[in-house]
């Protein structure tokens, strides 16, 4: 869905350079001041680097063959379901509450999140690890402007195959609308199909008669549903598929249980261990807590099999 800092969730931050909606998926407003972030790091011994919560997660994405294997598996599995979805006129990947109108007869589309779903922003995360830093809008905008993100393994082949069958690829992203040009340029550079500028629905996209709630994608999914029959959705966060009403461990588990059968058929989840709304759910979505308190809450939420 969107890159984030250390273990800092970037879910909504991906799109908020111009505005900062209040949302449990948006840690932006809770970015630690530099002094506080540095204080949270243990003083390294001579010749050592400072510890960083996100080191292993970013390293896995960049260097583990297992990451490539997982994403390739997901996109190949989705390609195998595409023809069946196209043949069934009532097939729809939007939940009924978000559809709002009949899907039958509409042209087919696939909805894809951008960050960590089609574009790999791990170099940005790696820089944060190296610098002992956290996500902020300035460094994020500069990274997007570089247009250096690579395609997530497997996505280009899938997207091209879908486009060849007449399926429009829609990019519903929490990157802000002012990042549209750089994002579309990056998508095209890695070989992803972009029909026209309208297929990018960034944070800030106006949707008539629908009120934007923080970084939630509900309104933009409704907009997609007005124009297209959505065959599949792809993302790296639960909020990429359906509205998260309660971002608590229990609320998230309940939401997943409700739509468990959709995954692997209509919905396809990409792995992202570097950030996400799953993280603040462990500490009551309170980014104002000191880093040590957030870390303690996350540790306390883990299963020790005692």
Average pLDDT, the chain: 87
Read off φ and ψ for residue 86, nearest 5 degrees.
Answer: -65, -35
* pTM of the model as a whole: 0.86
Whose CA is closest to 219, among 94, 85, 90? Answer: 94
User: In this structure, what CATH number is given to the domain that contains residue 111?
Assistant: 3.40.50.1000
Q: Is residue 8 part of a domain?
A: no
- Whether 34 is covered by a domain: the verdict is no
pLDDT digits (tens, 9 = 90+) for 161-202: 999 999 999 999 999 999 999 999 999 999 999 999 999 999
Per the structure, how many domains does the chain have? Answer: 1
pLDDT-derived band of residue 44, with 50, 70 and 90 as boundaries? low
What pLDDT is recorded for position 226? Answer: 93
Given a cut of 80, whether residue 256 has pLDDT beyond it is yes
Alpha-carbon distance of 246 to 279, in angstroms, equals 14
pLDDT tens by residue, 124-173: 999 999 999 999 999 999 999 999 999 999 999 999 999 999 999 999 99
Q: How many Å apart are CA 51 and CA 72, to the nearest integer?
A: 31
Q: What is the pLDDT of residue 1?
A: 59
In a domain, 144, yes or no: yes
Residue 198 lies in a domain: yes
Name the token pair of 19. Answer: 């505005």
Confirm whether 41 is domain-assigned: no
Query: CA-to-CA distance for 59 and 181, rounded, in angstroms?
Result: 29
Average pLDDT over residues 246-258: 96
- Of 134, 103, 189, 138, whose CA–CA distance to 16 is shortest? 138
In a domain? residue 304: no
Whether the Cβ atoms of residue 165 and residue 172 lie closer than 8 Å to each other: no
Q: Tell me the residue range of the domain where 151 lies.
A: 13-20+52-295
For residues 164 and 159, give the distance between their C-alpha atoms in angstroms, rounded to a whole number.
9
Asked if the structure places residue 290 within a domain, the reply is: yes
**96 inside domain:** yes
């Amino acid at each position: 869905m969107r890159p984030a800092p250390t273990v800092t969730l970037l879910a909504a931050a991906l799109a908020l350079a111009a505005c900062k909606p209040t949302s449990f998926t948006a840690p932006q407003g809770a970015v630690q001041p530099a002094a506080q972030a540095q204080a949270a790091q243990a003083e390294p011994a001579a010749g050592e680097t400072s510890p960083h919560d996100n080191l292993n997660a970013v390293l896995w994405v960049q260097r583990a063959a297992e990451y490539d294997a997982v994403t390739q598996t997901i996109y190949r599995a989705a390609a195998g379901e595409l023809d069946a979805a196209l043949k069934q006129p009532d097939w729809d990947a939007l939940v009924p509450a978000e559809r709002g109108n009949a899907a039958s007869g509409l042209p087919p589309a696939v909805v894809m999140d951008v960050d960590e779903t089609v574009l790999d922003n791990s170099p940005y995360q790696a820089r944060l690890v190296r610098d002992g830093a956290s996500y902020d809008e300035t460094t994020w905008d500069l990274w997007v402007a570089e247009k250096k993100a690579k395609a997530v393994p497997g996505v280009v082949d899938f997207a091209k195959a879908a486009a060849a069958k007449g399926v429009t690829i829609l990019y519903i992203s929490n990157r802000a609308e002012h990042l549209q040009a750089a994002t579309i340029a990056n998508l095209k550079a890695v070989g992803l199909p972009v029909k026209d500028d309208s297929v990018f629905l960034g944070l800030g996209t106006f949707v008539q008669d629908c009120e934007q709630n923080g970084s939630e994608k509900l309104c933009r999914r409704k907009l997609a549903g007005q124009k297209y029959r959505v065959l599949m959705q792809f993302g790296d966060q639960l909020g990429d598929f359906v509205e998260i009403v309660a971002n608590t461990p229990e609320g998230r588990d309940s939401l997943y249980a409700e739509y468990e059968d959709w995954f692997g058929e209509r919905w396809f989840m990409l792995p992202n261990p570097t950030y996400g709304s799953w993280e603040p759910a462990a500490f009551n979505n309170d980014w104002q807590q000191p880093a040590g308190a957030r870390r303690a809450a996350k540790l306390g939420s883990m299963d020790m099999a005692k």
